[in-house]
């Protein structure tokens, strides 16, 4: 049963890591326009449908949230904070690429989300040595991938650097731009990871938000909806502000691309939401292992990083890198895979 739970979480991680691929098929829309439209599906419609699965006949989500107002409010609040992380998450990939951007942001999110959720909700005793060791190994894997990313940045900048030196200049503007974007991307990715950790904290705060007798596989879906609802509000405010600032309201009026764009935004949103739907289902099979239940969020994030880097390879983000750099990347991925199973082995 535990193996099945881990497999379901892995499927969700693969879907999430694939969610940004359909975005490339969106046409004639600015970033803020397609970001909020895919968010309607990823953070609002699909999580609401998922939450309804956890509502017994004759009851409602309004009843559940109203009878636990304090827990509902805190869960929504952490969702608002997570939404900030979601905004900077997109920027981290713009500066660093899909592979490295997701790696650093999700790595920070995995560690802080796993460690802070029990502390903030009064269950610090859940942080056993096995969980802490698993988090440390995950961070080691992320650090190795970060080193590979730095090596990639230098190697991809070197052709411009060589050309500049041959021309007699002291430095290459192209190289400086790449290095500047890399440094900025690191900061943004770390901020994204820190704020994104609030998702798991929100899930922990929302543990009381479940009807008695509901299946363990569906238990966290109402809390998931409140977290994503908070994130949707944050993103909507920012995206609509950008629509006004950049005068891109007209994107929504381009009827010729609506069918195409809605289709791919829906696909992106469904793939993204699959990670937390899979997390809820998977944790239902991990109930017999308290260690893995606590570590499940970190497992999801580690697998997200693994699959995102595989997509980075497929999308040729590592094209032109030396075998040494690719070897370092592969070592980091292997460490992440090991970290996903380590707490269970140490239990």
Mean pLDDT for the chain overall: 86
Average pLDDT rounded to a whole number, residues 80-91: 84
Paired tokens of 44? 């609002």
pLDDT digits over 252-278, tens only? 999 999 999 999 999 999 999 999 999
Which stretches within the chain are classed as H helix?
A: 2-18, 31-39, 46-52, 61-67, 69-120, 129-166, 173-196, 198-205, 221-245, 258-285, 290-314, 323-346
Q: CA 220, CA 61: separation in Å to the nearest integer?
A: 13
pLDDT band per the 50, 70, 90 thresholds, residue 9: very high
Query: Is 50 exceeded by the pLDDT of residue 317?
Result: yes
pLDDT digits over 160-180, tens only? 444 444 444 444 444 445 555
pLDDT digits over 13-28, tens only? 999 988 888 988 999 9
- Say which residue, 148 or 45, is predicted with more confidence: 45
Of the ranges 16-25, 42-51, 151-160, which one carries the lowest mean pLDDT score?
A: 151-160
- On whether the CB atoms of residues 264 and 26 are closer than 8 A, the answer is yes
Query: Is 90 exceeded by the pLDDT of residue 109?
Result: no
Q: Please tell me the predicted confidence (pLDDT) of residue 1.
A: 77
Average pLDDT rounded to a whole number, residues 236-240: 95
Whole-prediction pTM value? 0.83
Q: CA 81, CA 85: separation in Å to the nearest integer?
A: 7
- On whether the CB atoms of residues 49 and 277 are closer than 8 A, the answer is no
The Cα-based distances of 218 to 25, 127, 191, 291, 303 in angstroms read: 32, 24, 30, 19, 21
Domain boundaries, the chain: 2-346
Q: Please tell me the predicted confidence (pLDDT) of residue 116.
A: 87
pLDDT band per the 50, 70, 90 thresholds, residue 102: low
Query: Is 50 exceeded by the pLDDT of residue 242?
Result: yes
Paired tokens of 244? 């006004």
Length of the chain: 347
Backbone phi, then psi, for 333, in 5-degree steps?
-65, -40
Location of structure tokens 């099979």: 285
Reduced to 3 states (helix: H, G, I; strand: E, B; else coil), residue 257 is helix
Of the ranges 59-73, 170-184, 187-201, 250-264, which one carries the lowest mean pLDDT score?
A: 170-184
- On whether the CB atoms of residues 321 and 157 are closer than 8 A, the answer is no
Location of structure tokens 């004639």: 28
Measured from the Cβ of residue 173, the count of other Cβ atoms closer than 10 Å reads 10
Location of structure tokens 């009807």: 211
Q: Please tell me the predicted confidence (pLDDT) of residue 119.
A: 86
Reduced to 3 states (helix: H, G, I; strand: E, B; else coil), residue 151 is helix
């Amino acid at each position: 049963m535990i193996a099945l739970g881990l497999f379901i979480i892995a499927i969700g991680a693969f879907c999430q890591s694939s969610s940004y691929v359909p975005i490339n098929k969106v046409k004639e829309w600015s970033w803020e326009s397609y970001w909020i439209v895919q968010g309607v599906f990823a953070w609002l419609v699909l999580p609401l449908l998922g939450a309804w699965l956890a509502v017994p006949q004759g009851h409602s989500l309004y009843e559940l949230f109203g009878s636990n107002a304090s827990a509902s409010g805190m869960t929504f609040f952490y969702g608002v904070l997570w939404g900030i992380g979601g905004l900077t998450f997109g920027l981290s990939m713009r500066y660093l690429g899909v592979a490295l951007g997701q790696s650093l942001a999700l790595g920070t999110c995995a560690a802080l989300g796993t460690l802070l959720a029990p502390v903030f909700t009064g269950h610090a005793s859940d942080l056993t040595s096995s969980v802490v060791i698993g988090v440390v190994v995950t961070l080691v894997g992320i650090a190795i991938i970060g080193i590979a990313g730095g090596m990639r940045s230098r190697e991809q900048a070197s052709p411009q650097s060589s050309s500049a030196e041959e021309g007699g200049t002291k430095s290459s503007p192209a190289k400086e731009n790449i290095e500047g974007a890399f440094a900025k991307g690191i900061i943004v990715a770390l901020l994204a990871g820190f704020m994104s950790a609030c998702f798991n904290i929100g899930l922990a705060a929302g543990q009381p938000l479940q009807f008695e007798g509901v299946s363990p596989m569906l238990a966290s879906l109402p809390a998931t909806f409140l977290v994503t609802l908070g994130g949707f509000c944050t993103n909507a405010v920012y995206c609509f502000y950008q629509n006004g600032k950049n005068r891109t309201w007209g994107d929504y009026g381009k009827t010729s691309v609506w069918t195409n764009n809605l289709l791919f935004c829906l696909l992106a949103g469904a793939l993204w939401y699959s990670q937390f739907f899979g997390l809820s289902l998977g944790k239902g099979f991990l109930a017999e292992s308290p260690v893995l239940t606590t570590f499940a969020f970190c497992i999801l994030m580690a697998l997200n990083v693994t699959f995102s880097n595989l997509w980075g390879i497929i999308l040729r983000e590592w094209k032109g890198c030396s075998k040494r750099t690719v070897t370092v990347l592969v070592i980091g991925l292997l460490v992440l895979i090991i970290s996903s199973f380590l707490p269970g082995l140490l239990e």
